[in-house]
Each structure stands twice: as C-alpha cells, then as structure tokens.
Amino acid sequence: MATILGIEVDGGAVIAGDRLLAEGGTVRSENERRVFDFGDLGAAAVGDSGDVDEFERRLESEVRDHETQHGDPMTLTRFASLASDIAGELGVEAVVVGRDDREVARVRAIGADGGVLTDPTVALGSGAQVAAGILDGADRAVSLDAGERLAREVLDTVAERDTGTGGEVDAFALGDDADRLG
C-alpha cells in the first residue's frame, strides 16, 4: 500500500511518502508519486493508485481555483476540509501541510472516512505502525532540514520492515512564514 507521514518540527513541517506501487502482492511500479506540492500547501496520499491520482487532480484544481479567485493561498483549515471531503469520497488516507492563522506550518491527518486529526506527527499506510513508533520517540526540536532528513530516515527504516513500503522517498517541507510573524 505504501506509507506516508507528517511531522511538525521547529520552524516548519514536513510530509513524505514512498513511491512503491504494489497491487495483489506484485510490484507494479517504484515511481508512483504520493507527495504533491501546491506551493504554500502540500499533500500526500495512500490508497488505490487511481484514487490517489484523482485525489491529487481534484485537490490541485480546487487550490488553483481558490488562488485565482482570491489572490492568496488557501488557509490550512480550508485545505484540510477540502482534502477531507475528497478523501472521504475516494476512500484514500492523506496528510496535508499548510500554515495556520499564525503562519506556523502544521500537518493534518485525513482518514479515509474524511476525519481530520491535528497531531504533530502522523503516519498512514501499510508501514504506519512502524513509522508512528519511530516518530513518537523522535526529537522534534530540530530544524526544518533535519526534519526532512528524519522523515526520509523513518521511511527508509519502514521500507526495511514493511514489504508494502519502498525505498524511493519524496518529501515536501514547508517553513513557518517568519516574514509575517509578529
């Protein structure tokens, strides 16, 4: 199934996911994108391949429409709500990242049922249990770059223990917007 995760660290937040596509016990691809960059927003999703692609397409379209109509990025609350609606319809799990109303980068977990969780660390997919265990014991008082390295290392470790998680990893890091902080 693959594994995705999100972690909030000092100065930002990171989401990451592996690229393995395995269906019916057979590896179909090692280049399946699950982490998506929408500028000031990011998302990662796991589920059936076609549903993940549709999740990305619909989310990207909504983000673009919002930015065209409003001239500024979508809020994290709106983005998470939108991702929740789409994930619930498609049955995918997702992690999204954006800045809250204080311009601090945050992650949100989106369940396949559309539920939204606000934990500072999250792991979803076939290797979620292993990843969550590592993240729970990890030091989050690190820089954004160190947070991205941590996310990649966690997924590398998960890939060693979970046949549904691959070794190729994509990550999206979003820093706090210090220019707007008081």
The CATH number that applies at residue 89 is 3.60.20.10
Q: Give per-residue pLDDT as tens, 9-62.
A: 999 999 999 999 877 777 788 889 999 999 999 999 999 999 999 999 999 999
Q: Give per-residue pLDDT as tens, 125-139.
A: 999 999 999 999 999
**Cα separation, 20 vs 3, whole angstroms:** 9
The DSSP element (H or E) to which 117 belongs, if any, is: strand 116-117
Q: Give per-residue pLDDT as tens, 77-120.
A: 999 999 999 999 999 999 999 999 999 999 999 999 999 999 99
- Look up tokens 């990843």; give the residue: 131
- Number of domains composing the chain: 1
For the CA atoms of 16, 17, 18, 21, the dihedral, rounded to the nearest 10 degrees, stands at: -160
Mean predicted confidence (pLDDT) in 134-159? 96
Residue 168 lies in a domain: yes
Residue 116 lies in a domain: yes
Global pTM value: 0.93
**Cα separation, 132 vs 129, whole angstroms:** 5
Residue 180 lies in a domain: no
Residue 63 lies in a domain: yes
User: Whole domain around residue 87: which residue ranges?
Assistant: 3-175
